[in-house]
Structure 1
């Protein structure tokens, strides 16, 4: 008996088996194109042949630039089945971001969607003369049916082989390369099937980029024989129409999308037709979520994770979305089966129930480390745990309520203030659609608490800053009450749809200085 008896089932083999299992069932819908599982398996092999002919083999670092189309999935699946190391680049990034990423990751091959990104590649090519740029072919399912193409078994991979690197958002500096081993992605695919409340017959609308969460959900959906419907550009109206046209019953959304969809009239709302709405990637306003559940029922599933432990640290299931239980609704759920989770203090000791600690994780879902950053990897893995940087409280039932990022914690007058707790209260004030609480430098307090709010469409001129401050003070006390509250039409967002706290903080400093000048003039 050899150790090979206990080798892992690889991520590539999960995709391989899924594509070969369901034959004529529909795997992908993209406009008027429908790819069966058999068509998709053939397409992946076509892409594998292209990669091999271009010199791609096990361990070769490649990058992928594509929109929400089946070919983007085919390329990634083909690369992983050949054992390449894949990074999906965000389609909306600029030249500087792409050039940095390609150089930082030692990229040898870039596969790109043509003609959509031809101009981008024309600009990148002179800056990266050693990289081979390959346009992805456009596939026609009608021409595949008569072709005798057999999907070959994937290259054998080991659990700790790095098969993917994702890039952090980079809002506070250059992006970090987050290394995903075969173990991480195989765990992600398997437990995504187990932990989320999927419909019986999945018809999933990929409305967020395949380079992020929707792409991570593709293999789990295919493992269950589901169909993925492509939406390359999100608008509430287009989303609604595609849900109707293709009988979509599930999707993944970021909170900003949910907010925009809730603005549609109830009779037109796609939430009437959806059975499962998975959401995550950034904090959701509890009052908005409660209103959505009251209007459309318990069909929401929250995932909590981060790129270092993708999508699977905790989950808030459909049954947990009880509008009569505000504490549970404000949480991110309970830890999932592939994550050992603890709340630790600054000395890596577990905190008592109800006290704030940093969410720390260990288990097969955790990344392999940061690319070419051993010191940061060692720091992040302190005491044998992945330190997420998120601060939370746990109740006696194990539900985790995030109170903020460790780096975002505000220390004002020597006291700790957790922005998420104040934001939750602000979201309950009439007329407030969303809130963001920040700390800015202050001579007296060290940090002064300020906030931004966006208002409901029907709020008009009725918003009163002093009334909101009194509302917060009554609930959270004077220390946690923002000294100034500014209104804005919309929060600046990062490229992956999260509120950009750095941009907001800079804007807050400007607004606060301008207000001080006005007061001095008076």
Structure 2
């Protein structure tokens, strides 16, 4: 009787079926096809040229002391160097860790101490912040490299010195389960925490985009959001494009006018961004119409797409609008396709092809189990949990938060939702008090701690109010000990605070005598949220 032995298949799959192998296939079969075009300079790289560049950078990283499993942190804007590092770190067996360039110096120092990178690459536009971060950090990377026209910091080298053509290309022994990328996301206190992703996560993420757009080797993509986000790097960014053989067009900073010009002039086929990006694109297209017939779709992430906005974008930009929902830990897990819109606008969509998504009961003393589903009646509220091959299922050096988030193969996202008989999920809020402004997570506790360090502030409460442009605008209620304290004073304090990224600071303040508290003295953010909407409508918040 025949008994199948999967050893040969397992050996191939676990050792050879890597994301990097997929990219290398394209350097041969699509050798002359353009892999990346930099619109800022006009520079282009074919797949063969990009492959040579990646090998030279991988050799340089190895020569600089990077060994398999070592971390390479880079704090860069979208651009060629970011894309090259994404591939080269995998080529030398390292872990590439792109970090938010909007972080404050103290937050960047935390990342350096947490991941202890061998190499740190930064953009010279960030030199002042990076210098302060390096001074605060306990860990000093062995090599610091600078990208950009500015002078490198003392002890740093130009990025090009890491690129060493002709040196031996590393051939590390790694498996599909070894970590390839580490993304940082905000923790419950606001300090960034690392999410480790392996090569299979890279491949499943690429496959997901290829299936859902769908994406083809003939496509040209531009992701309008920063690549350090999961949705930036993986949704139409370098990850799926380089795995498939498509072309990536990086944009250093989002410019709606330039973005639409590139669609018309360069034939971009997919744009990816947040609803705020689409709103700005629509205004730009309305003011100066272009030929957008090359577009095969626009994909939004980070916030629900309202029905009226969806209809407007479909008429003005393209009928093919998509909306994805997910997290840094899990990529996107539900998806709205053009056939779902506009009827299901406002919903997060149904489960992605490879994912299980459920809305389960919420308990005070334990996580909801997968079998404790709430009624599929669009009324009963529960927590969204997912099971996905695109998930990292771990945090770096954060065992307590890891235990809260991951349970028996399921990821508890912290979002509250309802769902219907067809399993369309609609997000209605958060279990915690996190808010999202301009696509970035803001944890009130971190902002409140920073505010409360001001000598004239007794206490504060930070929440978000609806904002047409940013989704939510950060505002603060403040109890002051000195009646002369002004909104401008609070603004100056927040801007100067080393542990508070500028995008997290409140944009308006209201000075009050007390805050809503529980019997045990805990702040009740949800109660203040309703009041803040009313106060904002009445103009009671002071803008610095």
TM-score normalised per structure 1: 0.73
Residue aligning to 2:374: 351
SS of residue matched to 1:389: strand
Residue aligning to 2:221: 204
Q: Please point out which of 408, 416, 427 is paired with 1:391.
A: 416
Deviation at 1:94, TM superposition (A): 2.4
- Change beyond 3 A, Cα 1:22–1:6: closer
Q: Please point out which of 254, 257, 260 is paired with 1:240.
A: 260
- Matching of residue 29 in structure 1 with residue 28 in structure 2: no
- Change beyond 3 A, Cα 1:99–1:508: farther
Residue aligning to 1:7: 14
Question: What does residue range 52-131 of structure 1 map to in structure 2 within 5 Å?
Answer: 52-113=62-123, 115-128=124-137, 130-131=140-141
- Change beyond 3 A, Cα 1:265–1:218: closer
Residue aligning to 1:480: none
TM-score normalised per structure 2: 0.70
Deviation at 1:302, TM superposition (A): 1.2
Residue aligning to 1:43: 53
Check whether the contact 2:326–2:334 (CA below 8 A) recurs between aligned residues: yes
Question: What does residue range 402-481 of structure 1 map to in structure 2 within 5 Å?
Answer: 402-408=427-433, 452-454=465-467
Check whether the contact 2:78–2:252 (CA below 8 A) recurs between aligned residues: yes
Residue aligning to 1:339: 355
Cα distance in structure 2, aligned partners of 1:263 and 1:152: 48
SS of residue matched to 1:99: helix
- Matching of residue 218 in structure 1 with residue 234 in structure 2: no
- Change beyond 3 A, Cα 1:45–1:151: farther
Identify unmatched segments of 5+ residues in structure 2.
1-6, 149-159, 363-367, 437-443, 445-462, 470-499, 511-524
Check whether the contact 2:209–2:215 (CA below 8 A) recurs between aligned residues: no
Q: Deviation per CA, 1:316-353, whole angstroms, max 9, x where unpaired?
A: 112222x3x2xx22222211122111211124212221
Deviation at 1:148, TM superposition (A): 8.4
Residue aligning to 2:454: none
Cα distance in structure 1, aligned partners of 2:107 and 2:539: 38
- Change beyond 3 A, Cα 1:304–1:153: farther
Residue aligning to 1:176: 193
SS of residue matched to 2:414: strand
Cα distance in structure 1, aligned partners of 2:50 and 2:273: 25
Check whether the contact 1:282–1:498 (CA below 8 A) recurs between aligned residues: no
SS of residue matched to 1:177: strand
Deviation at 1:5, TM superposition (A): 4.2
Deviation at 1:45, TM superposition (A): 0.8
Q: Please point out which of 196, 208, 223 is paired with 1:191.
A: 208
SS of residue matched to 2:107: helix
Q: Deviation per CA, 1:110-130, whole angstroms, max 9, x where unpaired?
A: 1234x4444444444444463
SS of residue matched to 2:422: coil
Cα distance in structure 1, aligned partners of 2:359 and 2:529: 33
Residue aligning to 2:328: 307
Residue aligning to 1:298: 319
- Change beyond 3 A, Cα 1:54–1:329: same
SS of residue matched to 1:98: helix
Identify unmatched segments of 5+ residues in structure 1.
410-418, 421-437, 439-449, 457-493
Residue aligning to 1:400: 425
Deviation at 1:234, TM superposition (A): 1.4
Check whether the contact 2:109–2:134 (CA below 8 A) recurs between aligned residues: no
SS of residue matched to 2:249: strand
- Aligned residues: CA RMSD: 3.8
Deviation at 1:274, TM superposition (A): 2.2
Cα distance in structure 2, aligned partners of 1:406 and 1:502: 25
SS of residue matched to 1:279: strand
